[in-house]
Amino acid sequence: MKKDISNREDVLTLVTKFYTKVRKDEVLGPFFSEIKDWDEHLDRLTTFWESSLFLKTKYYGDPLQAHVKADNQNNNKISELHFGLWLNLWYETIDELFEGDYAENAKRRARKMGTFLYLKVFEARNK
C-alpha cells in the first residue's frame, strides 16, 4: 500500500521524478531545454504544488506567463498534444508513488490547470 502525499518532501519527490520523465521525453523534453538551474526550478515547482495541495505555503510566481513565454520561445508550437502528454506523465508518476485524497487532488488540480493554461497560451497568440 502506498501512502498519500502529506508534506513538502513528498511533493519534492513527486516533482523531481515527474520532471526527470519530462526531460527524457522526446516530445516534451525540448520545451524544457532553456532551464539552466534545475535545482532552483524544482524548488519553485515544489513550492507551487505544495501551495496548491496544502493551501498553507504562499507561491510567488506566474505560471501562465512562464507557459506563454515557453510557447513564444518555441515558435508557438505548444499544442493540446503537449498538455495531454504532460498530464499523462503527471498521473503516471502520482500513481507510481502515492495514493489517497491528496494524490487524487493533485490529479484534479493538474487537469484544471492544464485546461486553463492550454486555453490561455492559445489566447495569448492572438494578442
Residue 87 domain flag: yes
C-alpha Rg value of the chain to the nearest Å = 14
For residue 103, what pLDDT band results from cuts at 50, 70 and 90?
very high
Residue 27 domain flag: yes
d(CA 78, CA 61): 21
Count: domains in the chain? 1
Residue 60 domain flag: yes
Residue 70 domain flag: yes
Q: Read off the C-alpha cell for 4.
A: 498519500
**Owning domain of residue 103:** 8-125
Residue 2 domain flag: no
Q: Give the tens place of pLDDT for each residue, 57-89.
A: 787 778 878 888 887 887 888 888 999 999 999
CATH code, domain carrying 79: 1.10.490.10
Residue 51 domain flag: yes
d(CA 31, CA 71): 8
Residue 88 domain flag: yes
Residue 84 domain flag: yes
Q: Give the residue with greater pLDDT, 49 vs 67.
A: 49
